[in-house]
Amino acid sequence: MAKQLSGAGLRGQVAGKTALSTVGKSGSGLTYRGYDVKDLAQNCQFEEVAYLILKGKLPNQSELDAYKAKLRGMRGLPSALKEVLERIPKNAHPMDVLRTGCSMLGNLEMETSFDQQQDVTDRMLACFPSIICYWYRFSHDGVRVDVETDDDSIGGHFLHMLHGEKPRELHEQVMHVSLILYAEHEFNASTFTARVCASTLSDMHSCVTGAIGSLRGPLHGGANEAAMEMIEGFTSPDDAEEKMMGMLERKEKIMGFGHAIYSDSDPRNEIIKQWSEKLAADVGDDVLYPVSVRCEEVMWREKKLFCNADFFHASAYNFMGIPTPLFTPIFVMSRLTGWAAHVMEQRADNRIIRPSAEYTGEELRPVPAISERA
């Protein structure tokens, strides 16, 4: 059954056109440029999907090889950016670090013409993992990590820098799937932020910096971290059930569940759930995965609320040894493709986005003299 889309939050209102993705259209849960996300997650690497989203077609082998080589060559960070990252404290949130890193990059490598939009985007795609890991390893381990690795993929590059060793094949594969699932999602809050910024004819770094800020909140991308914080407090499935029932009774929001558009499932969930199960078996987990499954059952039974893309990402990332505060920055590494493609689409057919407001304030009145004011 389709969700009733109306009310506050611009729900159900068409705010522009896109050829990039469909979300919740009947018969197809989520498509990128006409391809089902399940098909893409099963058959592609993330770089192929990034190419598809940004350049409009799936690459052939030589195009993919050239694209990966280009991205590999753009992983380095300018020394001024490294200096800025070294000054950000250990207790900063990595999303704030990334927001600052993106903004600083825009100062050092400014987009001076829209002709540069593809290259500027590829540069961000290549170096965002470097920004996150350079700061994280410096502030937490006192290490100036080498960001110019020769890893084949963006996900592999990230895991290599984070853990100081080449990732296992299983983990690199899960990163491909995860980054594909998060890559694009029509007019979600962060993408809409990017498009509003683009509609003023601003530069790409400004659009992406704003979008990072929007993604950070727990009602959007920040939900994967919030979900992790919740499930790690549950010691067993029964404990999870008891505590969740209490949360529901107190009418608390449970992060990682529900969706603004999907009505009864998020197509990304079954994919990342399968990988979470595989990773649980791999690490010999007998708590986090069963706890997560019980949460899913309780939420559906009690509220008909389903897991969105974020919920099983929490356990999957945890099983790969990724610290919780880095969960949402991984989302950025991926969604950057969607944001940038939307910025390009907006630029290609632009009118400044400027909706109207329903006024609920005072009627027109004169300014009283200061001596007459309460």
Ligand X SMILES: O=C([O-])CC(=O)C(=O)O
CB 211 within 8 A of CB 339: yes
- Residue ranges in contact with ligand X by CB under 6 A: 23, 185, 188, 260-261, 308-309
The rounded distance, in Å, linking the Cα atoms of 258 and 100 is: 30
Cα–Cα nearest to 49, from 36, 58, 61: 58
* 260 binds ligand ACO, rule: CB under 6 A: yes
- To ligand ACO, the closest distance from the beta carbon of 306 in angstroms equals 10
Cβ proximity to ligand ACO: between 125 and 305 the closer is 305
Report CA dihedral (52, 58, 60, 63) to the nearest 10 degrees: -10
257 binds, among ligand X, ligand ACO, none (CB under 5 to 8 A by kind): ligand ACO
- To ligand ACO, the closest distance from the beta carbon of 80 in angstroms equals 33
The rounded distance, in Å, linking the Cα atoms of 76 and 130 is: 7
Q: Which residues pair with 30 in a beta bridge?
A: 23
- To ligand ACO, the closest distance from the beta carbon of 268 in angstroms equals 8
The rounded distance, in Å, linking the Cα atoms of 132 and 159 is: 11
Task: Using CB under 6 A, count the residues that bind ligand ACO.
Answer: 16
Q: Which stretch binds ligand ACO (CB under 6 A): 16-24, 192-200, 218-226, 315-323?
A: 218-226
19 binds, among ligand ACO, ligand X, none (CB under 5 to 8 A by kind): none
CB 175 within 8 A of CB 313: no
* 296 binds ligand ACO, rule: CB under 6 A: no
Instruction: Please identify every residue annotated as catalytic.
Output: 220, 259, 310
Sign of CA dihedral 246, 248, 251, 253: positive
254 binds, among ligand X, ligand ACO, none (CB under 5 to 8 A by kind): ligand ACO
* 259 binds ligand ACO, rule: CB under 6 A: yes
- To ligand ACO, the closest distance from the beta carbon of 327 in angstroms equals 11
User: Could you give the C-alpha distances from 146 to 13, 82, 96, 160, 167, in angstroms and in order?
Assistant: 47, 11, 22, 10, 15
Binding region for ligand ACO (CB under 6 A) = 219-221, 223, 253-260, 305, 308-310
